[in-house]
Structure formats: structure tokens, C-alpha cells
Homo-oligomer: A and B are copies of this chain.
Amino acid sequence: MRSSRRARGSATIVDVAAAAGVSPSTVSRAIRGHPDVGEQTRAQVLASADTLRYRPSTLARALASGRSQTIGLLVSDIANPFYPRLAKAVERECRKRHYSLVICNTDDSELESVEYVERLTDQGVEGFIHASVGIDEGPVLEALRDAKRIVFANRRPRSESVSYVVSNNEAGGRQLGEHLVSLGHRRIGFVAGPSWASSVEERRRGLSQALEGCGGQLLVAEGDFAATKAPQAVRALLAAAIRPTAIVGINDRVAGGVYGLLLDLGLHVPGEVALAGFDNIDFGWVQALSLTTVAQRTDTMGRRAVEILLRQLDKPSVRITRQELPMDLLVRGTTDAGQTSSRAEVP
């Protein structure tokens, strides 16, 4: 009963056309909801498509139309809990708009990123959301050829001609710093991330600003986004002539690592050293630690990034969009012992 010579397992548009007694073009229109098709015809076509269990080939469609309805998301490290959160938000928005998403783990390697962009472009991917913080933007933009095909999320582009949506990391850092200062802390240790990441520098600046007013001091030790360098960093911070009374991790993951180290050193948190992080990752231990943190508005970030990208794809003439999202300080037990923590719910 199938028509195509080399079978595909599923009916084609020609099969449906035959069954409905119309031409393939009409089927195509009917299926996509094109207005120029009679009510009778449309009903008939849809019925036939249904009985034949017809499924349009996205491949053929993309090839013929030049639009794949797919975008790519570049992330640094999908094992870093911040990224799945962002990815889910992006995915949700994509679905809503009938787009597909492909997630690319770059491991912060320029080479990998460029390869992804090239390969996916070959596959017809229309545009990208770039949330991989750890690499120079140049090569990726070059591989892309058109700056309108990308939106940066969670990182600020150096280029003037790229849209982005980021958190206001400086303000976030400042809020956290002010919170600590208000608690009496004057020497704060910061286990930073790699210095090439704009968010790291911004958070550092925010913390500094909070300390400036009161003559406090920020001690910075470089680390990474995982917790691998945390031990040296903590050691360095605690070796200072006057110990910091609070330590801030560049993210919650790092803060968690720091916590373990402090425990080992017999230092009570928050009694002897207060502790805080960034990102508010939703993880058993965070609740367990009751970690004070500065949350990013991940959902909004993902949603906006998709909105901006699709708008640019549809209408390349639109202007570049730049957005800064506020961050939310969540005060919990590791900075304020009296604070109601999530643990308090447990009898």
C-alpha cells in the first residue's frame, strides 16, 4: 500500500495526498495550518493523515524550507548544577515555540565549542545560546559568521554587537557583602573562580564595594567552578595574619567544599567562620547545610534568552538586546545561626 520506492516505515506526504485525493502541496498547506485551504479539504486531509499515522519528516522539511526549528545551547559543564537548571528553562521555552533544543557540553574548550557550532550549523541549527563562560568569545562568533544568530546568557560579551541576558553579579555580590558586614564581618575571604569569567570579577567587585564603606577587607584566593582548588584556597585564606571571619564561595558547589574543609579544621560554621555561596542550587546538601546564597533567576534568564534569539532569527534587523537580571540574597543558617533554616522543619 506504500508508495515510495525505498520504504521509510512511515507514510509520506504523497501517500496522504493520494488517500485524500488532493495534491501534495495541499496536504503540506493543510498540515501547517496555511490559511489558503478549504475547510472541507483540510478536514479530509487531516483525517487521511491520521489514519495513515503520517508524521512529517523534519529533515525534509528543514531542507526544503531552510529552517530547522532547532537551536543550540552551549554550556560549560552540564555536571555543574547551575546549567541543568538553565537548560530546563531554555528547553521549556523552546517547546512552547515549537523549537527543538540541542545541548552542548563545551568543557570550556574553545576547540569543542567551535566544532559544535560548525557541526550544528551543518545540521541546520538556526542559532545558539551561549552560556559557556570559560572561553574567549572570538572563535565562536567567527564560526558563526552572523552575530544575530547568537545570544549570550550568564556571560557578558565583549563585542558590542551581541545580545545578552546576565545576572547583575556586581549587585548580587554587594548585597551579600552588605549582609555580612551588617553581621559584623570585616574580613571576608573569597574563593573566586577563574579570572577570565566576567561573573567572577563582578561578584568580587560587589563584595569589595560592600567592604569599602566600613574599612573592611576582601581576601581573594583563586579557585575554579568545581571544588577542586578549594583546599589550597581555604588554606591560603586561613593562613593570613588575621583570619577572615567569613568565607564566600564563587558558587554553592565551592562553598560546599569549603564547608567540609572547615569542619575538618574543627571550625564551627557559622560560629567561627560564616559561609555563603552563589546560585542556590537545589541539592540535598544545600538544605542540609542551610547555606546562605545569592540566587540567580535562572528561569527568567533561559526564557529571555530564547525570546531574544528567536526574535533576532525571525527579523535580523531588530536591535541588539541587553538585559540584566537582579539576584536574590537568601539568608540562611551558615551566616546567621538564629536564622530559620529549611532544617528547622524537621522535628
Which residues of A are at the interface with B, using a C-beta cutoff of 8 A?
6, 8-9, 55-60, 62-63, 66, 68, 78-79, 81, 84-85, 87-88, 91, 100, 102-103, 105, 118-119, 121-124, 145, 226-227, 230-231, 234-235, 253-261, 263-265, 282-285, 287-290, 343, 345-347
A-B contact pairs, 30 of them (CB 8 A): A55-B118, A55-B121, A57-B63, A57-B122, A58-B124, A59-B63, A63-B63, A81-B81, A84-B105, A88-B105, A100-B119, A102-B102, A103-B103, A227-B283, A227-B284, A230-B284, A231-B345, A255-B284, A256-B283, A256-B285, A257-B285, A259-B285, A260-B288, A261-B288, A261-B343, A265-B346, A283-B283, A283-B285, A285-B285, A285-B289
How many copies of the chain does the oligomer comprise? 2
Q: How far apart are A131's CB and chain B's nearest CB, in angstroms?
A: 14
- Which of B56, B123, B264, B290 is the one whose CB lies under 8 Å from A58? B123
Contact B257 A346 (CB under 8 A): no
Contact B84 A88 (CB under 8 A): no
From DSSP, what is the main secondary structure of chain A's interface residues? helix
Nearest B residue to A345 by beta-carbon distance?
Answer: B231
- Which of B59, B87, B234, B264 is the one whose CB lies under 8 Å from A124? B59
Residue of A100, A102, A285 with most chain B CB atoms under a 10 A cut-off: A285
Q: How far apart are A217's CB and chain B's nearest CB, in angstroms?
A: 24
With known contacts A78-B84, A79-B84, A57–B283 Cβ distance under 8 A: no
- Which of B59, B100, B260, B346 is the one whose CB lies under 8 Å from A231? B346
Q: Known A-B contacts: A78-B78, A78-B84, A100-B119. Give 11 more (CB < 8 A).
A: A57-B63, A58-B122, A59-B62, A79-B282, A87-B105, A100-B123, A235-B347, A253-B284, A257-B285, A260-B343, A261-B346
| Separation of A145 and B257 alpha carbons in the complex (Å) | 47
Query: What 4 A-B pairs come out closest when comparing CB atoms?
Result: A260-B288, A257-B284, A227-B284, A256-B284
For residue A259, which residues in chain B have a CB less than 8 angstroms away from its CB? 284-285, 288
